[in-house]
Structure formats: C-alpha cells, structure tokens
C-alpha cells in the first residue's frame, strides 16, 4: 500500500467534500432516556454527513453520547431511550420513519454496526462459521453449503484470520481475533457504511494496532465508509479522515483530521488534544474533570461553559451554533461566532488549558502511516 495511491483514495483534506456522494446524512437527531427524575438528553440535535469511502471519527469522553448516536442511526436504541426527533437519511430513505420490518431489510445491508464490546457478545456455544453463516443467511436465505463455506472463508481471509478459525468456538480465540470475527460479520453483506463503536478499547496496545490495521485494510479494499467511535485521539489521528467531537450530547467541532489536530478551534477539542500524554503511552482520555452538568438539566448557553478557560458572559446566555470557519471546518463557539460581543463581555474565571498547537505538531510527527505528517 503506497502512501500516494492511498492518499488518492482518501477524501480531500482541504474540506472540498461537496462533489462526493453522501452515504449518511444525520439531521437534527435527538435521543432522550427517560428516568424518574426527568429525561437524560443524550443526543441533543446533532447534524453531520458521512461521504462515500471516508472514515469519520466520533470522539468525546465517556457519557457524551457516542454509543447512543450509533444506536440511534441504526434505530437500535432500547427503552428507556427513544429517538425524540430528527432524520437519518441513507440514500433517499429516512431510517427514523421506517417500519421495523422495512428497517430489518436495510440494517446490515446498507449499514452495519460493530457494537461496543462486540467480541464479548459472540455466542459462546456457536462455532464461528455458524455465527458468520447466520449473518449471511438471515438476509440472503439459504445458500448452497459449498458457496456459503467459501463466502465465510473469504471473509475470514479479508480480516486476516486463518482458515482454521472457521470451525472454532469464541473461547478458543484471543480478544483481537474475536474482534476481527466481528469485523468479518459486519462486512458479510457488503454494506457501504460500517459503524465501529470503540472497536479496540478492550484490547492491549499491540492487539489494538492489529485490529486498527484490519479496519484500515477492509476500508481500503472494500471502499466502505466508516464511523469510528473512540476516545483515543492518537488512534483517531492514524485512522480517520475527518473528526467529529462531541460534548454532552452536542457536536462542538467537525474538521478534516489534520486540521483538527493542527488548528483545533473549540476549547474542548484543544483540551482533548492537550491531554494526549504521548502517542507511545496511549490511555483513555484523561481530562481534568468529567461532564460538569447533569444531562437532564443542561445550562442555557454553551454546554462547555463550566470547564472552558475562555468562558464569557455571552457563553452563559446564548448557545453557540455549529458554523463553518474554514473549508470543512466547523465549530460551535462564541469566540468565533460572536467575536465582537465575545470580546466585550466579561471573562468568567476557570482553569487554564495549555495550547493544543504545541501538542499537535508532535502528534503528527509521531503518527504517520499515510504520510500525513509530511507537510
Ligand atoms: N439506559 C439509560 N438510561 C439512562 N441514561 C442512559 C442510558 N444509557 C445511556 N444513558 C446516558 O446517556 C448518555 C450518553 O451515553 P452513551 O451514548 O453511552 O455515551 P458514550 O458512548 O459517549 O460513552 C450518558 O450520560 C449516559 O449516562
Ligand atoms: S462558547 Fe464560550 S464557553 Fe463555550 S467553548 Fe466557546 S468560549 Fe468556551
Ligand atoms: Mg459508548
């Protein structure tokens, strides 16, 4: 895989994405969980697109709504959760308004999910061949035994697993191998879009790399689009084309990945990047505090106001909208939206954040599978 041919296949990093086909268009998606003390607003009106052949990273701390977003896209949110509003457009179809039966025909065919903790949900008493076989025959009906076997062996091969895995049980496989079986199941019906929810989280660093490489290979070979959910910013830097940053159920920044690391606009994105210890010593995001408000009762104004080192009066009063400030680079912050008003209003003292740019430069020096650090 030469880095230049690879680059050609990548979506443009300058934000000129308009000419490419949109495979998923999420519009004003809202998901609540009912609780005795009121609704948890887990996803609060988010908008984003995924283009053909690109990998989009969805990042943010635990509890910010990543899994809920993924489940809502496939309409798999379980009670007490429910989709309150919005549309999930796949081609010209809104998944939110389909009947359950119509939806069953599209799921896994148009878009597939590798759920969080997928490898632990493989059926322990079924051989791998039967689990993958079921995924295929459920949608395609019965196939001649030989054809089905060949299909399954091909899939195992695609994810870099040896043929002997065919007849094995999950407990005979390592974590990384099980996770690759889950990738094989996700690609079994050739969906144009795969959503992978923290596919490498439970694995040690070496195995993480193997699984990440498997996902990259699959993406390149099959040309699928991917939403890669994670909180490891270093891994995201290696794998994704664009990054979407969520905070407390809201999207606060969207940017081509290099732009996100070199010129993060939102103070939260800056904090995320600043908190990457080093590429070699990857850990889950460890920022100074967790979410600072109850998701049942978000404050008026900016969702990030309680942790933001730049918060002003206007941030407490008015919610900033997600707007574009450079080609394909969007953020929701008054520093950019209301520059004059922002400067005039009084600062609110909070903790200071180190400059993200310092860290970004280093990050791209270290992580360079695609020649992304070249310039
Ligand atoms: N079944 C549930 N009941 C109440 N709240 C929930 C439920 N599931 C998730 N939540 C809340 O929704 C928010 C988003 O959760 P989730 O989507 O799992 O976040 P992430 O994947 O980013 O960690 C969290 O605050 C979580 O506590
Ligand atoms: S709107 Fe205000 S509080 Fe929110 S991120 Fe921007 S500066 Fe900080
Ligand atoms: Mg999650």
User: Can you tell me the distance from the alpha carbon of 324 to that of 333, in angstroms, rounded to the nearest whole number?
Assistant: 11
User: Can you tell me the distance from the alpha carbon of 93 to that of 242, in angstroms, rounded to the nearest whole number?
Assistant: 24
Contact by Cβ (8 Å): 195, 70: yes
- Please give the number of the atom of ligand 2 that sits closest to the Cα of 305: 3
**Confidence band (pLDDT; 50, 70, 90) for 369?**
very low
Protein residues with CB under 6 Å of any ligand 2 atom: 266-267, 302, 304-305, 308, 310-311, 315, 320, 333-335
pTM for the structure as a whole = 0.88
CB atoms within 10 A of CB 182: 24
Q: Which of 57, 59, 63, 76 should be mutated for ligand 1, with most atoms under 8 A from CB?
A: 63
Direct distance between the N- and C-terminal alpha carbons of the chain, in angstroms, rounded to an integer? 20
**Confidence band (pLDDT; 50, 70, 90) for 375?**
very low
Helix, strand or coil, per DSSP, at residue 40: strand
Q: pLDDT tens, 204-238?
A: 888 888 899 999 999 999 999 999 999 888 888 88
Q: Looking at the CA of 246, name the nearest ligand.
A: 1
* DSSP structural state of residue 164: G
- Please give the number of the atom of ligand 2 that sits closest to the Cα of 309: 8
CA 310 to ligand 2 center in whole angstroms: 6
**Confidence band (pLDDT; 50, 70, 90) for 359?**
very low
User: Can you tell me the distance from the alpha carbon of 353 to that of 313, in angstroms, rounded to the nearest whole number?
Assistant: 19
CB atoms within 10 A of CB 40: 20
Q: pLDDT tens, 69-106?
A: 999 999 999 999 999 999 999 989 999 999 999 999 89
Q: pLDDT tens, 337-351?
A: 988 899 899 888 654
User: Can you tell me the distance from the alpha carbon of 340 to that of 314, in angstroms, rounded to the nearest whole number?
Assistant: 11
Give Dmax over CA atoms of the chain in angstroms.
73
Q: Looking at the CA of 309, name the nearest ligand.
A: 2
CA 88 to ligand 2 center in whole angstroms: 28
Tokens 């069953």 belong to residue = 104
Contact by Cβ (8 Å): 186, 207: no
Q: Which of 38, 57, 64, 68 should be mutated for ligand 1, with most atoms under 8 A from CB?
A: 68
User: Is the shortest distance between the CB of 214 and ligand 1 below 6 Å?
Assistant: no
Which two structure tokens, joined as six digits, stand for 94?
């809104």
User: Can you tell me the distance from the alpha carbon of 114 to that of 116, in angstroms, rounded to the nearest whole number?
Assistant: 7
Q: Which of 247, 251, 332, 335 should be mutated for ligand 2, with most atoms under 8 A from CB?
A: 335
- Please give the number of the atom of ligand 2 that sits closest to the Cα of 268: 5
User: Can you tell me the distance from the alpha carbon of 350 to that of 92, in angstroms, rounded to the nearest whole number?
Assistant: 46
User: Can you tell me the distance from the alpha carbon of 40 to that of 18, in angstroms, rounded to the nearest whole number?
Assistant: 35
Would you list the DSSP string of 212-270? HHHHHHHHHHH--EEEEEES-HHHHHHH-SEEEEEETTEEEEEEEHHHHHHS--SHHHH
User: Is the shortest distance between the CB of 32 and ligand 1 below 6 Å?
Assistant: no
For the cut 70, the answer to whether the pLDDT of residue 178 exceeds it is yes
pLDDT score, position 275: 77
- Least confident span in 149-153, 174-178, 262-266, 276-280: 276-280
């Amino acid at each position: 895989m030469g880095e230049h041919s690879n680059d050609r296949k990548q979506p443009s990093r300058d934000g000129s994405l308009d000419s490419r086909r949109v495979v998923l268009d999420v519009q004003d998606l809202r998901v609540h969980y009912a609780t005795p003390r009121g609704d948890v607003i887990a996803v609060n009106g988010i908008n984003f697109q995924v283009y053909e052949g690109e990998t989009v990273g969805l990042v943010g701390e635990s509890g910010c709504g990543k899994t809920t977003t993924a489940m809502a896209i496939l309409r798999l949110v379980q009670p007490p959760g429910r989709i309150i509003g919005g549309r999930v457009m796949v081609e010209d179809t809104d998944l939110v308004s389909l009947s359950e039966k119509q939806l069953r025909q599209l799921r896994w065919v148009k878009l597939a999910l590798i759920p969080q903790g997928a490898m632990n949900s493989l059926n322990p008493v079924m051989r791998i061949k039967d689990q993958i076989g079921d995924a295929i025959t459920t949608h395609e009906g019965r196939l001649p035994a030989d054809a089905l076997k060949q299909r399954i062996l091909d899939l195992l091969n695609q994810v870099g697993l040896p043929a002997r895995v065919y007849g094995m049980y999950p407990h005979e496989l390592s974590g990384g191998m099980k996770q690759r079986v889950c990738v094989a199941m996700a690609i079994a019906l050739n969906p144009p879009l795969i959503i992978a929810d923290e596919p490498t989280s439970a694995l040690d660093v070496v195995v993480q790399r193997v699984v990440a490489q498997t996902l990259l290979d699959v993406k390149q070979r099959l040309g699928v689009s991917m939403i890669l959910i994670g909180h490891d910013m270093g891994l995201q830097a290696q794998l994704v084309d664009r990054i979407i940053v969520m905070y407390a159920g809201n999207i606060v920044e969207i940017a081509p990945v290099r732009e996100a690391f070199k010129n993060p606009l939102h103070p939260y994105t800056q904090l995320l990047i600043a908190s990457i210890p080093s590429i070699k010593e990857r850990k889950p995001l460890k920022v100074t505090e967790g979410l600072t408000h109850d998701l049942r009762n978000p404050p008026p104004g900016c969702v990030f106001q309680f942790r933001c080192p730049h918060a002003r009066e206007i941030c407490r009063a008015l919610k900033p909208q997600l707007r574009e400030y450079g080609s394909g680079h969007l953020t929701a912050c008054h520093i950019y939206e209301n520059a004059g008003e922002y400067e005039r209003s009084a600062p609110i003292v909070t903790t200071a954040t180190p400059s993200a740019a310092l860290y970004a430069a280093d990050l791209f020096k270290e992580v360079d599978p695609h020649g992304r650090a070249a310039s």
